[in-house]
Structure 1
Amino acid sequence: MSNRHDARRHTMVEDVAIPKHLLTTAKFNSPWELKKWEKSLPQNDRVEFQPQEGQKQGGISRSVSLSALRGPRRPAAIRPRSNPPELHVWDEFSKRRRLTPPIEEKEPITPIRESAVHPSPPLSSNSSVNHHSRQSSMHDVYEKAKLRGVALQRKHWVRVLFEVSVYVLLVLFIYFVLVGMPLWKGAVWWLYWVVSHKFTITGGWAILLGLAFLYAFCPLLILFEKDPPPATEYDHTDLEKNDSSAKNTALLIPCYKSAQIIGPTLEAALKVFPAENIFVIANGNSQTPLDNTEEVCRPFGVNHLWVPVGSKIVAQFAGCYAAKGFENVLLIDDDCALPPNFPVVSDRLKGQVKCLGYTIKSVGPGSSKGTYCQQAQDLEYKMSGIQRAFFGMLGSATFPHGAISLWNTEFLKQTFHEHPGYSVSEDWFFGDACRRLGGRVTMCTSVFVETETPSSVFFAGGGSRGGFGEMTIFQQRFKRWNFFFVIGMYYDMKYILTSWKLGWWEIGAKLCVFQEVYETLIYLFAPFYFPISFVVSPSFSGILLGATIGMYIVNVVLFNEYHLRKKNERIDWKVLIFYYTVYKIVLTLINVFSCYWSLFKYARYFAKRHPKIIEDQEAIGVVLSLERDVESPTIPEEGEHAVTARPPQRADSQRAYKRLTLTRVEAPIGLDITTTQTHTTTQSYRSVI
């Protein structure tokens, strides 16, 4: 082994061969996983152990890098006192190789789970030991994520076999269960027989109407909160309280190709938050930014991060660590415009309340009312807001609106341990993780936060929306929002039957969660029950269907004329009567078809295993770079925008260097920005993933 200094070496025993007994510290689930992991390593990271002449090779196999296998070390208090077989092998091996024993760390490494949940506080000039401990902890998380990533990988033929197997099972289910003939008459025929001979149409419609009535009209028993005073009319006490809450809160704005729409979002945000509290987290699967979002952000003096992983949830994960030191974080979409009198109600995050949602409103370009479709979405969003507020008062809402939510920072980090890591419907799973961890989701309904929505149902009608370019309701909901409707029933029932961490609040929370199960079952059974009902009793079923539609019309009229009138947010009658009803019927059909489409698409989606965020090597690599480099920033010279440290040269050409940039710049002199600008610098980091 060469004694030449190499920047790749992290410890004195980097390439020491490891006895076979000690490979168990990597915690492989099977020999197959061990072999697969060994094959995935670059050849230059392995060191062949050459036994001395006459020495037996039993117990010593081809070894790998110690740093790659190093798992989280247990604190001394819970470390086993002795392990004679392994210690004996290690002692003998050390004597034969004549190596210095590993350097003993002065402080135990924080366990993996705790390191991501409770990061160390910011470093001071005398905290080098804590800095080393935190880096070691995050490095352990990263190493574990690498192992987990290998264990979750499936070969191509396994994924194909999984996908084909699911398709075959679906076909067999349709034939043997639903159709059945000639083996038996099938479930559909027996459902027809039950409906026609047991007179269940009346009872079925009664249950349907009863539950629909309760879920539709009970939320109307509460009112929206009073409007906060305009920003210019805040009294000194309220203004000071809101400013204090804003200073303790980081505003995280994950975005994707948002250069065209991020400007107005920042203009509105700077009226509420200081520039140093705002973090624009652009992301995409590229080492370099996909557009000029950073240039757009530069005049505002806000923080900008480029995360080279195309995932909204990874961007939020990185933002939580970039915004360290803030007690709370507010997550908003890149097209949300905060009102000037936006209340930062972080004082409500106490006890079991760990997340707060805000009511939102749909707008067109330039905060206009937009098309009839956007106005219908406006009514839909506001009704959803009061429903969530009602269930939040009873126990907990299912989840906050994905466009905006306020979290306790440390609790939000804990949710990443429970979040399954899905890149679709990620906002819904945040609410599920919050409730399973014992946190309540409540709402603030004093303001409506504007967000631009698709302008049409099926055909794109233009607009300024960025991101994925979801310019139609069909694309937005059929392919994304509704994708986990069916699989969501599993998580909902699991929560209803197994989670009891909210105490008495669980009653209201479970009622809210059951509503989702009830709606999904209606979508799944609608193609069977409704046609059979109309075949058996067409007149009776037609009357009840009309009564159901009429009930919902009465519901929205009451909501519009009383609740929204008090907030001066009424919807035009033409939209309410002539468009909204047809709009909801079309959306119901979309929801039904999307459930069956998702059942078909699950085969391909789940053929590939999806790691949690804390098991994602790339996501942890981004956070690790912040944990490691944020304490030693690179200051740009005059005239430079960002300085990126040159990465160390590695012989392993298979590992890519992915760039994480944290930019904090000063707004140009003379530009009218509604915030006090401070002297700032630009920092750039490069992490090896």
Structure 2
Amino acid sequence: MADDNIRDSIVEDVLIPKELLTTAKFNSPWELARWEQSLPDNNRISIPAPRPRTSSNRPLSLSALRAVARPRSAIRPRGCSDPPNFQGNPFDYFAKPATYEPASPIPEKEPITPVQNAFLSPPPSSNASSPTISSEQSSLQEVYEKAKLRGVAIQRKHWVRLLFEYSIYLFLVLFVYFVLVGMPLWKGAVWWLYYVIRTKFVIQGGYAITIGLAALYAFCPLMILFEKDPQPSSETAPQSESPDLEGNMSNVESTALLIPCYKSATIIEPTLKAALEIFPKKNIFVIANGNSKTPLDNTEEVCKPYGVNHLWVPIGSKIVAQFVGCYAAKDFENAVLIDDDCLLPPNFPVVSDRLKGTVKCLGYTIKSVGPNSSKGTFCQQAQDLEYKMSGIQRAFFGKIGSATFPHGAISLWNIEFLKQTFHEHPGFSVSEDWFFGDACRRLGGRITMCSQVFVETETPASVFFSGSGSRGGFGEMTIFQQRFKRWNFFFVVGMYYDLKYILTSWKLGWWEFGAKLCVFQEVYETLIYLFAPFVLPISFVVRPSFCGMLLGVTIGMYIINVIIFNEIHLRLKRERVDWKVLLFYYTFYKIALTVINVFSCYWSLYKYARYFAQRHPKVIEDRDAVEVLLSLEKDEKESEDDVIPLDGVGALGRGLGRKLTLTKVKTGKRMSTLSTSGGWI
């Protein structure tokens, strides 16, 4: 091949529609500079003299674009006045000796849609046939552009992450030695704690305060009862018959059921059967997710016979699945979020009429079951008692202020408010339900409880060793795996968010006092877990007999508490726990949980070094998550098969495929089923 035919760049003759050039927007001149610098050099292309343009003229190429100077308005940030560098002549990033003007003014056209932008295709020649951009799609596009910039801004280089991680390790080691131990250089904090407890601290008074606060938080919730069961279809009908949901019908019609799931093909079918007893199939959205461009199992095939909506989200995150589900269910006013192993009872009440005023979220009381809704093992029955006690506590705090958070297994939200919480939610994929509660309260929303029914959820079958069960997805088979590795991970960091809320948030008015009392309980419990390894051994060394007696009194107090709860509250709901579990197993179960909680706090301090070495974006700042929403919008609006990323280096370029499968049941008058499927090619 002749030298004069050798191309300087493999993309020099790629054509760009002139309409696309005029609609390009940059948030700052630095973005424009980086974009122009990425264009290839091409010294062979010369700028033609001005001549009349016709429809047959070739549009500008990437190489020719670099030589075209832009007016000052094109590089000035929107809404900002000209910086000093913009005064006089237009700012020239490349310091070229001469500037050029386009051959002729480019006529203004309608703004193109994000999908057209992705395909680099010109808009239709007729304005009448060109699609318009809805305000929601335009808003999503703005969120996507911001997410791209945010994703770049929060990225840390590999060496920075390593430096951060090992600096934290070094700090922890130095803290343990120089602050806690100190010997032989000086007397550390542990020695001084021993000295204070032995000579200055009145053990009886200190433990009186500790036990008093524990009794307050344990017995006050027993002052209320669970709500009565929903009424059956008639006063004479037995309770086992189908309930009368006529008064609930309007609430059901305006409420979507969102079911995030991960590898749930083996357990999702009973969940769907129970849900279809309450909700129409058009209201149910199964959002399967996983880090793969193709589904990880045949959950979609299981869902098809039931006619419910199914989405595949190629990001392995429950919170991202919920985020996508909110937008997929945009035609509904409210949403019930449940886990894939939750079975709604036939008399399940959709109490969306309670979402008024400051109440923005409702939790439901839950119960632990074994496989096939059985009582399960002693461990599962002990969890059943624990979950029900947690339900009455949250119901109590919901009445005097606000519960800290709804249980992650099931909750009811106003969809628009739930979308707002994603702006406050830090985006952590662990303990996402706890951070939902924190975001809700900081936005001025109360969290209350509906205790009319208990929703079944299958729980681990043993504390330390794997047992039998049908737990799917991320459902751990042991209590230790579940709580040590996930549930307790943010116990220590959560104190920062709790204290920040207690000191700075006052949007709930008078309800804040009850809400902060509930939040303080979490801070108090975490402090006990952190100080227990030091205070308890020292106390037993100083006053062994007294501390032993005090420990027995504490255990007895909690046994009396659960007996009252079981024989009064659960008896009225016909949900009593077996006496053998209550007297012979539950005490040892709670002691084991306390040990797990204490050690998990210190384990999480060690794991924070690696976890926070990489900065985590909020969900609305995650370009992958927002890109899924744009793909969803495209599938719904255009019913096309191929989804293209919004830029040349989208998720596909980073090795993350996109495949969105949506079976959308139309609401309103049109009840036909529409199936669309999209994926990267």
TM range (shorter): 0.7 to 0.9
Amino acid at match of 1:207: I
What is residue 39 of structure 2 aligned with on the other side? Answer: 46
Is 2:572 aligned against 1:566? yes
In structure 1, the residue corresponding to 2:147 is in which secondary structure? helix
What is residue 678 of structure 2 aligned with on the other side? Answer: 685
Q: What TM-score do you get using the length of structure 1 for normalisation? A: 0.83
Amino acid at match of 1:576: L
Over 3 Å counting, the alpha-carbon distance change for 1:409 and 1:4 in structure 2 is same
What is residue 197 of structure 1 aligned with on the other side? Answer: 199
Over 3 Å counting, the alpha-carbon distance change for 1:48 and 1:23 in structure 2 is farther
What is residue 253 of structure 1 aligned with on the other side? Answer: 259
Identity of aligned residues (%): 68
Moved more, 235-244 or 361-370: 235-244
CA contact (8 A) 1:231 1:341 kept: no
Over 3 Å counting, the alpha-carbon distance change for 1:649 and 1:148 in structure 2 is closer
Q: How does 1:572-587 map to 2 (within 5 A)?
A: 572-587=578-593
In structure 2, the residue corresponding to 1:467 is in which secondary structure? coil
Is 2:358 aligned against 1:356? no
Over 3 Å counting, the alpha-carbon distance change for 1:320 and 1:342 in structure 2 is same
Q: How does 1:627-642 map to 2 (within 5 A)?
A: 627-634=633-640
What is residue 653 of structure 2 aligned with on the other side? Answer: 654
CA offset at residue 65 of structure 1? 14
What is residue 220 of structure 1 aligned with on the other side? Answer: 222
CA offset at residue 437 of structure 1? 0.4
What is residue 124 of structure 2 aligned with on the other side? Answer: none
CA separation in 2, counterparts of 1:144 and 1:630?
23
Q: How does 1:68-107 map to 2 (within 5 A)?
A: 79=79, 86=86, 89-90=89-90, 96-98=100-102, 100=105, 103=108
Amino acid at match of 2:379: C
CA contact (8 A) 1:658 1:687 kept: yes
CA contact (8 A) 1:46 1:64 kept: no
CA offset at residue 199 of structure 1? 3.5
CA separation in 1, counterparts of 2:105 and 2:296?
49
What is residue 118 of structure 1 aligned with on the other side? Answer: none
1:578-615 residue CA offsets vs partner (Å, 9 max, x unmatched) = 00000000000000000000000000100111000011
1:183-226 residue CA offsets vs partner (Å, 9 max, x unmatched) = 22110011011001014211210111010000000000000000
Q: How does 1:106-117 map to 2 (within 5 A)?
A: none
Amino acid at match of 2:220: C
1:413-449 residue CA offsets vs partner (Å, 9 max, x unmatched) = 0000000000111110000000000000000000000
What is residue 175 of structure 1 aligned with on the other side? Answer: 177
CA contact (8 A) 2:498 2:520 kept: yes
CA contact (8 A) 1:49 1:63 kept: no
CA separation in 1, counterparts of 2:388 and 2:75?
49
Over 3 Å counting, the alpha-carbon distance change for 1:65 and 1:281 in structure 2 is farther
CA separation in 1, counterparts of 2:645 and 2:321?
25
Is 2:439 aligned against 1:446? no
Is 2:420 aligned against 1:414? yes
CA separation in 2, counterparts of 1:3 and 1:243?
61
Over 3 Å counting, the alpha-carbon distance change for 1:408 and 1:12 in structure 2 is same
CA offset at residue 23 of structure 1? 1.8
In structure 2, the residue corresponding to 1:279 is in which secondary structure? strand
Q: How does 1:204-603 map to 2 (within 5 A)?
A: 204-230=206-232, 239-603=245-609
Is 2:20 aligned against 1:11? yes
Q: Which runs of 5 or more structure 1 residues have no equivalent in the other structure? A: 27-33, 54-60, 110-125, 635-643, 667-675
CA separation in 1, counterparts of 2:321 and 2:166?
33
What is residue 115 of structure 1 aligned with on the other side? Answer: none
Amino acid at match of 2:207: W
Amino acid at match of 1:263: E
CA contact (8 A) 1:71 1:140 kept: no
CA contact (8 A) 1:47 1:64 kept: no
Amino acid at match of 2:555: I
Moved more, 247-256 or 83-92: 83-92
CA contact (8 A) 2:233 2:243 kept: no
CA contact (8 A) 2:366 2:387 kept: yes
Amino acid at match of 2:137: Q
1:315-369 residue CA offsets vs partner (Å, 9 max, x unmatched) = 0000000111100010000000000110000000000100000000000000000
CA offset at residue 685 of structure 1? 3.0
CA separation in 2, counterparts of 1:417 and 1:592?
32
CA contact (8 A) 2:627 2:645 kept: no
1:390-413 residue CA offsets vs partner (Å, 9 max, x unmatched) = 000011000001100000000000
Amino acid at match of 1:422: F
What is residue 619 of structure 2 aligned with on the other side? Answer: 613
CA separation in 1, counterparts of 2:139 and 2:508?
31
Over 3 Å counting, the alpha-carbon distance change for 1:665 and 1:502 in structure 2 is closer
Over 3 Å counting, the alpha-carbon distance change for 1:106 and 1:146 in structure 2 is closer
CA contact (8 A) 2:243 2:347 kept: no
Which entry has the higher C-alpha Rg, 1 or 2? 2
Q: How does 1:22-33 map to 2 (within 5 A)?
A: 22-24=28-30
Over 3 Å counting, the alpha-carbon distance change for 1:142 and 1:549 in structure 2 is same
Amino acid at match of 1:131: I
Q: What TM-score do you get using the length of structure 2 for normalisation? A: 0.84
CA separation in 1, counterparts of 2:654 and 2:302?
32
CA separation in 2, counterparts of 1:366 and 1:64?
70
CA offset at residue 568 of structure 1? 0.2
CA offset at residue 244 of structure 1? 1.2
Over 3 Å counting, the alpha-carbon distance change for 1:82 and 1:606 in structure 2 is closer
CA separation in 2, counterparts of 1:677 and 1:580?
53
Over 3 Å counting, the alpha-carbon distance change for 1:170 and 1:102 in structure 2 is farther
In structure 1, the residue corresponding to 2:133 is in which secondary structure? helix
